[in-house]
């Protein structure tokens, strides 16, 4: 099945939600209706007399309004909506638009599908007092020509005094039903096979716009290209390119808009959407499958996998309520104001989808604090750490990425995660480079975040390309030159920080300053740092600490010396960051443990 088929299936599965308004959510629009925002509210009584009017704020929820196939996609040419409409169609001085509006509303009012709320609205607009009423209510202002300044303001109606039907038009489900019946009877034409449902039905001449609210005029299916004749050479008529039923098109587009508004994730101006057509909740492929909260107990390496597996099983049990459960992933972007593109699409059995998320998180994960709490980074976090520029926002230094870079690379990682592709090496290289320049970060928390993310990605890449599992516990005897040099850098950094006072806590160590060049010529700069340690920092330490560090440095140099001398000064591989992180983590853990023991002894 394709996107529109799954969207149509979603609509059919959620018919109980049609027209239902929930706080903070956009409603699912009925067929022949759309979701929009009104700026003015007018109340009339059963005689069509003005009662009150008010100006609506921008925080007021969007409403459901009836539309025709043409008015839902209108641009500059006059084409009125049947009921709720812009002031330009209601004011007396715009006679052409007003006549079109009244003729259409009158046709509905006089049909077999009329509603008690239609006549009062029709009478009120026909009376022509709307300008005076709105000015008197201080809702609008006029220009020098006596015309309303903001003619594009959309009016919604409340009709009182009509019995049980009294109240807002935009929440009246009977009114929705009446219009659907009226429009269906009016537009019943020659039928053909619908490519979505496979049924013989009245075809759509135009397709709705506004699936993604921030790209309001962009359409998935365009139906107005008769000047360029892009269908020529394949079809005789434009409609032959896509024979889609009117109601099927309405339902599919309404479902996509509903999903995008309530579940869509916007990253860099691109909308990422993941859902289950039957309405079962599905995890986001952009985020970790399992998240440990810092306030919870420490999660060791073994228990992380256990908790991750339990989380996956929990999702599977939930999604197995439907034996044919499918998860759909789609990404939308608008290159121009009128065209909406599907930049990524996939649909998987929910069990396969969960297996793939689990497999990614199992291997692309690391400690995200120095407290042994493990987690997979989100896809956005990986790109922010790889390409982000540190900028201060509201007093906090954040990693900010250009929207074009962010959306493109997040989609690349989404494809890797969902399609079981190998991790892109260019993103890994960028992460390693950023993690090798700690002096570039003003906020140490950003550097630690980049370092943790880089280690998670290195772990993932080694599994993808070598089927090698990187251990997350320090391996002092590991025969890896890069790993040992990373350990060496961490020890030298810790020796220097141990001599700092609380006042000097924000100073950048020599090891951190030299880290970017240390990667290129490790032995050369290791010797420079060692001389600094011997001269300036080791003498300041207590004998016990000095002995421990000298012993550790000696062990590391012994392992490195087992390599051929010609390799000592070659540029380091990615795993130096693993050795650096784990050794640094072990040293800080050891220090905290010793401080706790000293406090206990003092008591």
What 3-state class would DSSP assign to 193?
A: strand
Highest mean pLDDT among 338-342, 393-397, 430-434: 430-434
Cα–Cα distance measured from residue 11 to residue 231, given in angstroms and rounded to the nearest whole number: 30
Q: What pLDDT digit, counting tens, does each position of 30-60 carry?
A: 999 999 999 999 999 999 999 999 999 988 9
Q: pLDDT value at position 502?
A: 64
Cβ–Cβ < 8 Å for 32, 183: yes
Average pLDDT, integer, range 175-188: 93
Q: pLDDT value at position 230?
A: 64
pLDDT band at 223 (very low <50, low <70, confident <90, very high): low
| Residues contacting residue 459 through CB under 8 Å, at least 6 positions apart | 363, 364, 365, 366, 470, 472, 578
Question: Which of 8-22, 286-300, 448-462, 565-579 is predicted with the least confidence, judged by mean pLDDT?
Answer: 286-300
Cβ–Cβ < 8 Å for 260, 218: no
What is each CA distance from 203 to 95, 220, 339, in whole angstroms?
33, 16, 21
Among 265, 263, 269, residue whose Cα is nearest residue 282: 263
Average pLDDT, integer, range 273-297: 84
What is each CA distance from 336 to 210, 219, 221, 599, in whole angstroms?
13, 10, 14, 65
pLDDT band at 600 (very low <50, low <70, confident <90, very high): very low
Domain boundaries, the chain: 3-241, 281-335+344-472, 476-603
What 3-state class would DSSP assign to 60?
A: coil
pLDDT band at 591 (very low <50, low <70, confident <90, very high): low
Q: What pLDDT digit, counting tens, does each position of 140-160 carry?
A: 999 988 899 999 999 999 999
Among 53, 522, 32, residue whose Cα is nearest residue 254: 32
DSSP letter at 38?
-
Q: pLDDT value at position 319?
A: 80
Question: Which of 93-102, 114-123, 427-436, 589-598 is predicted with the least confidence, judged by mean pLDDT?
Answer: 589-598
Among 63, 39, 65, residue whose Cα is nearest residue 53: 39
| Residues contacting residue 600 through CB under 8 Å, at least 6 positions apart | none
Q: Any idea of the CA torsion for 567, 568, 570, 574, to the nearest 10 degrees?
A: 100
Q: What pLDDT digit, counting tens, does each position of 65-83 carry?
A: 999 999 988 877 899 999 9
Cα–Cα distance measured from residue 494 to residue 519, given in angstroms and rounded to the nearest whole number: 18
The two tokens of residue 192 are: 């053909």
pTM of the predicted model as reported, rounded to 2 decimal places:
0.90
Q: What pLDDT digit, counting tens, does each position of 429-469 carry?
A: 999 999 999 989 988 899 999 999 999 999 999 999 999 99
Q: pLDDT value at position 500?
A: 86
Bridge partners, 271 (sequence order): 266, 332
Cα–Cα distance measured from residue 516 to residue 338, given in angstroms and rounded to the nearest whole number: 47
Q: What pLDDT digit, counting tens, does each position of 352-368 carry?
A: 999 999 999 999 999 98
Q: pLDDT value at position 507?
A: 79
| Helix, strand, coil abundance in the chain, percent, nearest 5 | 45, 15, 40
Mean pLDDT of the chain: 90
% of the chain beyond a pLDDT of 90: 74
Cα–Cα distance measured from residue 329 to residue 415, given in angstroms and rounded to the nearest whole number: 10
Among 293, 321, 311, residue whose Cα is nearest residue 354: 311
Q: pLDDT value at position 284?
A: 96
Average pLDDT, integer, range 14-31: 90
Cα–Cα distance measured from residue 488 to residue 509, given in angstroms and rounded to the nearest whole number: 14
């Amino acid at each position: 099945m394709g996107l529109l088929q799954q969207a149509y299936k979603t609509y059919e599965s959620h018919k109980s939600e049609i027209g239902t308004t929930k706080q903070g959510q956009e409603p699912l629009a009925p067929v022949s209706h759309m979701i929009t925002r009104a700026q003015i509210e007018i109340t009339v009584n059963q005689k069509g007399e003005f009662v009150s009017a008010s100006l609506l704020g921008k925080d007021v929820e969007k409403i459901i309004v009836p539309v025709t196939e043409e008015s839902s996609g209108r641009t500059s040419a006059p084409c009125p909506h049947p009921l709720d409409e812009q002031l330009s169609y209601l004011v007396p001085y715009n006679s052409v638009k007003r006549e079109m509006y009244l003729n259409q509303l009158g046709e509905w009012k006089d049909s077999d599908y009329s509603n008690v709320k239609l006549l009062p609205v029709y009478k009120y607009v026909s009376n022509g007092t709307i300008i005076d009423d709105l000015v008197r209510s201080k809702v609008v202002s006029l220009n020098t020509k006596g015309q309303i300044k903001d003619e594009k303001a959309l009016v919604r109606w409340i009709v009182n005094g009509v019995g049980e039907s009294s109240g807002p038009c935009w929440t009246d489900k009977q009114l929705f039903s009446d219009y659907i019946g009226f429009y269906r009877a009016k537009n019943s034409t020659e039928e053909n096979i619908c490519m979505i449902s496979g049924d013989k039905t009245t075809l759509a001449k135009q397709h709705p716009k506004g699936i993604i609210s921030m790209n309001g005029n962009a359409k998935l299916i365009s139906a107005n290209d008769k000047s360029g004749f892009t269908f020529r050479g394949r079809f005789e008529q434009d409609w032959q390119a896509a024979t889609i039923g009117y109601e099927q098109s309405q339902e599919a587009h309404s479902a996509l808009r509903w999903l995008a508004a309530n579940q869509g994730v916007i990253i860099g101006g691109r909308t990422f959407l993941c859902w289950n057509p039957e309405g079962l909740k599905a995890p986001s492929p952009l985020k970790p499958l399992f998240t440990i909260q810092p306030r919870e107990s420490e999660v060791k390496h073994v228990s992380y996998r256990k908790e991750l597996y339990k989380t996956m099983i929990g999702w599977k049990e939930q999604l197995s309520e439907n034996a044919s459960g499918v998860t759909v992933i789609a990404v939308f972007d608008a290159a121009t104001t009128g065209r909406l593109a599907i930049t990524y699409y996939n649909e998987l059995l929910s069990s396969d989808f969960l297996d793939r998320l689990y497999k990614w998180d199992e291997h692309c994960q690391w400690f995200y604090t120095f407290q042994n709490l493990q987690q997979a980074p989100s896809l956005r976090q990986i790109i922010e750490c790889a390409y982000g520029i540190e900028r201060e926002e509201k007093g906090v230094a954040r990693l900010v990425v250009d929207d074009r870079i962010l959306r493109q690379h997040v989609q690349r990682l989404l494809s890797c995660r969902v399609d079981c592709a190998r991790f892109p090496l260019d993103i890994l290289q960028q992460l390693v480079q950023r993690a090798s320049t700690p002096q570039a970060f003003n906020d140490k928390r950003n550097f630690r975040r980049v370092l943790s993310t880089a280690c998670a990605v290195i772990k993932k890449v080694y599994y993808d390309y070598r089927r090698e599992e990187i251990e997350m516990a320090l391996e002092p005897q590991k025969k890896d030159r890069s790993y040992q040099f990373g350990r060496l850098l961490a020890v030298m950094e810790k020796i220097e920080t141990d001599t700092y006072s609380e006042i000097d806590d924000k100073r950048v160590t020599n090891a951190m300053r030299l880290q970017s060049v240390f990667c290129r010529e490790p032995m050369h700069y290791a010797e420079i740092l060692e001389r600094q340690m011997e001269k300036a920092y080791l003498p300041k330490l207590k004998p016990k600490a000095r002995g421990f560090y000298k012993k550790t440095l000696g062990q590391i140099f012994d392992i490195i010396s087992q390599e051929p001398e010609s390799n000592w000064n070659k540029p380091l591989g990615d795993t130096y960051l693993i050795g650096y992180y784990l050794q640094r983590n072990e040293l800080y853990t050891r220090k905290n443990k010793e401080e706790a023991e000293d406090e206990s002894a003092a008591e």
